[in-house]
């Protein structure tokens, strides 16, 4: 009798629980991944292409000796003078006048050394780490086009096309497994690394040093009072005129900027390639079967410049469907 009563109570309670149990949450694992996705990623390089290291070394030369930056400024200014006997004499006087310039640095170029160091440090940071703006187009069947279309500097997006560089393109294949893991097969992508570095220098590094500068030449000229440098050199050399040295100083800063930009442009004369595969988590937010977001993406592989491979850092990406 007790057993029958317990069974009846259990049957009634269990039946009621079965009726009132909430429905299971809809699956967020996509069934289809075709579509266009806007990606934000990171390009992290553990080692830099040799030309990039050379550019950083050139900037370091302005402040790396005990008598710099005074001696560096004097040497650059004299080197910018017109060729001839006058320039030869000024070159011989430069080592003797530079210590007087050093004594007057607080008046002539108080911000030159810290400014150049900040430019070099910022450029090194950009060279190793960039935030990328990309687009992933997945066709039915999985054939996928990956395009790097720009860079993000803080809140400022910059298109590669703004600097005259085409989008970097690669073809890969995408698929999603039953657990929601998105797989992108190994592919090669050639990057306009020099142009990317130039964008980073102009759009992110220079504004942090000189808000009024439109390019590196502007920034370098703003860091030196060429009028005072020319006047001080002339007063101790007693050769030529202060105006002549002032003009040479301005030419020297423009020339230094041109050298840096030329070396940055020269990077793209040799191929800079990524050979990577990708994994991520695909998410179907509205449970309609299609992928809406790409989360926790990671690119694994190598970077190579002119055929020499180097390791990648932590290259990540996330994305949303357009």
pLDDT computed for residue 166 by the predictor: 81
Lowest mean pLDDT among 87-91, 151-155, 227-231: 151-155
CB atoms within 10 A of CB 67: 13
Query: What residue spans define the domains of the chain?
Result: 35-39+50-321
**Could you identify the residue written with the tokens 């309670």?**
13
**Whether the predicted pLDDT of 142 surpasses 90:** yes
Close Cβ partners of 197 (under 8 Å, ≥ 6 residues apart) = 52, 123, 126, 127, 264, 267
**Whether the predicted pLDDT of 11 surpasses 50:** no
Cα angle vertex 146, ends 143, 150, to 5°? 165
User: What integer is the mean pLDDT of 25-31?
Assistant: 87
Q: How confident is the model at residue 195 (pLDDT cuts 50, 70, 90)?
A: very high
**Whether the predicted pLDDT of 6 surpasses 50:** no
- Does an H or E element contain 86, and which? helix 85-103
- Which pair of tokens denotes residue 186? 């190994």
CB 216 within 8 A of CB 261: yes
pLDDT computed for residue 22 by the predictor: 55
- The whole-angstrom separation of Cα 133 and Cα 116 is 29
pLDDT computed for residue 12 by the predictor: 46
pLDDT computed for residue 24 by the predictor: 57
pLDDT computed for residue 165 by the predictor: 78
**Whether the predicted pLDDT of 7 surpasses 60:** no
pLDDT computed for residue 15 by the predictor: 46
pLDDT computed for residue 155 by the predictor: 86
Average pLDDT, the chain: 92
User: What integer is the mean pLDDT of 139-150?
Assistant: 96
N-term to C-term CA, the chain: 66
φ, ψ of residue 3 in degrees (nearest 5): -65, -45
Query: Nearest Cα to 320, choosing from 51, 187, 133?
Result: 133
Q: How confident is the model at residue 299 (pLDDT cuts 50, 70, 90)?
A: very high
User: What integer is the mean pLDDT of 11-16?
Assistant: 46
**Whether the predicted pLDDT of 58 surpasses 50:** yes
pLDDT computed for residue 162 by the predictor: 75
**Whether the predicted pLDDT of 29 surpasses 50:** yes
**Whether the predicted pLDDT of 10 surpasses 90:** no
Q: How confident is the model at residue 111 (pLDDT cuts 50, 70, 90)?
A: very high
Helix, strand, coil content of the chain in percent (nearest 5): 45, 30, 25
State pLDDT tens for residues 196-233: 999 999 999 999 999 999 999 999 999 999 999 999 99
User: What integer is the mean pLDDT of 238-266?
Assistant: 97
- The whole-angstrom separation of Cα 197 and Cα 130 is 9
Q: How confident is the model at residue 23 (pLDDT cuts 50, 70, 90)?
A: low
pLDDT > 90: percent of the chain: 86
How far, rounded to the nearest angstrom, does the alpha carbon of residue 226 sit from its chain's CA centroid?
A: 32
């Amino acid at each position: 009798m007790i057993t029958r009563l317990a069974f009846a109570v259990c049957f009634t309670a269990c039946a009621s629980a079965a009726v009132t149990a909430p429905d299971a949450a809809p699956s967020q694992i996509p069934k289809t991944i075709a579509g266009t996705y806007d990606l934000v990623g990171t390009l992290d390089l553990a080692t830099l292409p040799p030309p990039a290291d050379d550019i950083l070394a050139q900037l370091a030369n302005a402040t790396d000796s005990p008598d710099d930056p005074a001696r560096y400024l004097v040497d650059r200014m004299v080197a910018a003078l017109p060729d001839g006997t006058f320039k030869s004499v000024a070159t011989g006087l430069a080592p003797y006048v530079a210590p007087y310039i050093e004594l007057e640095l607080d008046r002539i170029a108080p911000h030159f050394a810290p400014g150049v160091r900040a430019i070099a440090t910022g450029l090194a940071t950009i060279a190793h780490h960039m935030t990328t703006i990309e687009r992933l187009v997945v066709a039915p069947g999985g054939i996928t086009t990956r395009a790097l279309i720009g860079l993000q500097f803080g809140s400022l997006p910059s298109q590669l096309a703004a600097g005259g560089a085409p989008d970097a393109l690669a073809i890969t294949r995408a698929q999603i497994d039953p657990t929601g893991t998105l797989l992108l097969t190994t592919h090669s992508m050639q990057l306009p690394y020099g142009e990317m570095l130039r964008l980073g220098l102009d759009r992110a590094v220079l504004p942090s040093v000189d808000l009024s500068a439109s390019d590196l030449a502007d920034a370098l000229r703003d860091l030196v009072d060429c009028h005072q440098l020319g006047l001080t050199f002339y007063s101790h050399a007693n050769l030529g005129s202060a105006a002549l040295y002032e003009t040479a100083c301005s030419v020297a800063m423009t020339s230094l900027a041109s050298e840096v930009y030329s070396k940055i442009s020269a990077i793209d004369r040799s191929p800079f390639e990524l050979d990577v595969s990708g994994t991520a988590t695909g998410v179907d937010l509205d449970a309609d079967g299609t992928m809406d977001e790409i989360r926790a993406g990671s690119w694994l592989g190598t970077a190579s410049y002119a055929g020499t491979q180097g390791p990648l850092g932590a290259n990540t990406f996330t994305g949303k469907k357009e």
